[in-house]
Copies of this chain bind each other. A is one copy, B any other.
Amino acid sequence: MKSTIECMPCFVEHALHVAAMLTGDIPSRHEIIKKVFAELSVMELEETPPEMARKIHRIIRDVTGVHDPYLKIKDESTEFALKLLPFLREDIDKAEDKFEAIVRVVIAGNIIDFGADINFKLESAHDRIKEAFTAPLDIENVRVLQKAMDRAENILYLADNCGEAVFDRLLIEPYRDKITLAVRGFPILNDITSRELAHSGLDGLVKEVIDTGDATPGVVLKYCKPEFVKAFNEADLIISKGQGNFETLSDTERPVVFLFRVKCKVLSAMLDKVPMGSLHVIPMNVSE
């Protein structure tokens, strides 16, 4: 998915927000935003939004020296999700269609994202996740996902944010022996990296864990390390969590099922004006 002109204010707001989070020093903040403007002044719309986020965060890192701005937020999100997990398991146990209920929860967990929603409050997350049990969802696509997971022998599971990643185990557990779990190679936004695996309860759960080798909040193969590219190209099925992974992989030719909530107006418009916050299961290059 290419960037649009309408993405530009969001890049600017995001850069200012993170800069303000990291430093009260106005000259440093101004240096950051000036460098971001310089990048935006030569940006081509062929680039995906997460590729621009990658550049913005490199600038922020260079100016502030802060390697992982979301460290505390990531750990708080993980803690919160871990507390919530037993209650969500109970809800799922009560559900008629357990697979569908799990899919709803692992998509809804995507609301734990301080990166896209700067006003996000952890407290309201529980209620919003529970709303997902009755939210509109393409059930046929859920069936396609289930069949594809049953059939596949080698699944690459692309995780997204911390917190949300705790819930991913619900979908991973029944298929754990055939899943390779992929995380980001370096800290970027609140996305999960190797550092947060154990805390998220994902250590030792799956066949293999791999990281992208890159700091894009999505998957851009040209930036990824060869081992990841190999895993990506050899998987029978890729499960892609979150909007950032969708934005960077929506043109891939590999078999993938995207699970995400719509978090911005640009994507909402692009998907035929689906509502903000709506849940999506989108299979691509996957037979039914």
Interface residues of A (CB under 8 A from B): 5-6, 8-9, 12-13, 16, 19, 26, 29-30, 33-35, 37-38, 40-43, 45
Contacts and interface: CB of A to CB of B under 8 A. Distances in A.
A209 to B, nearest CB: 39
A226 B180 CA distance: 73
A47 to B, nearest CB: 12
B30 A34 contact: no
Given A8-B16, A9-B9, 6 more contacts: A5-B29, A8-B33, A12-B12, A26-B45, A34-B41, A38-B41
Nearest to A26: B5
Nearest to A15: B8
Contacts of A6: 16
Copies in the complex: 2
Contacts of A9: 9, 12-13, 16
A133 B281 CA distance: 56
Given A38-B41, A41-B41, A33 B5 contact: yes
Contacts of A34: 40-43
Contact of A37 (B29, B40, B45): B40
A37 B5 CA distance: 12
10 contacts: A5-B19, A5-B26, A6-B16, A9-B9, A9-B16, A30-B45, A34-B40, A37-B37, A37-B41, A41-B41
Contacts of A45: 26, 30
Contacts of A16: 5-6, 8-9
Nearest to A43: B34
Pairs A-B, 6 closest by C-beta atoms: A37-B41, A38-B41, A37-B40, A37-B37, A34-B41, A12-B12
Interface centre among A37, A38, A45 (most CB of B within 10 A): A37
Nearest to A30: B5
Nearest to A42: B34
Contacts of A12: 8-9, 12
Contacts of A42: 34
A35 B5 CA distance: 13
A33 B30 CA distance: 19
A5 B37 CA distance: 12
A10 to B, nearest CB: 9
Contacts of A43: 34
Interface centre among A19, A29, A41, A45 (most CB of B within 10 A): A41
Contacts of A38: 37-38, 41
